[in-house]
Amino acid sequence: MVPCDEAHHVCDKTQYKESSFWEKLKLHFHLMYCKACRKYTRNNKKLSSTIHKAKVECLDKKCKEAMKQEFEKALKDQLK
């Protein structure tokens, strides 16, 4: 029998397509009898699809570094 925290873990990994076939199978059986984990899985999937739908944008690392450098310079100038 799979404990709930292991089920959560596999569920999380599944969101990122990083769970194995066997892990998914074990999760599937766990979900058959565990209502709490069914709810967790439902909410977890909803979160993934919401983020995917939103197509949120981020700044890449290089860009942030460049911004930081420019900002730090301005910060120094301000303190002079």
Binding residues vs another protein (CB under 8 A): 8-9, 12-13, 15-16, 18, 43-44, 46-48, 50-51, 53-60, 63-64, 67-68, 70-71, 74-75, 78
CA separation for the pair 38, 44 (Å, rounded): 10
Closer CB to another protein, 25 or 51, in the complex: 51
Closer CB to another protein, 16 or 33, in the complex: 16
Q: Where are the alpha helices (DSSP H) in 1-80?
A: 4-15, 21-33, 35-54, 61-79
Q: Which residue has the tokens 């404990």?
A: 3
Dig out the tokens for 76 from the structure. Answer: 């120094």
The CB-of-28 to another protein minimum distance in angstroms stands at 19
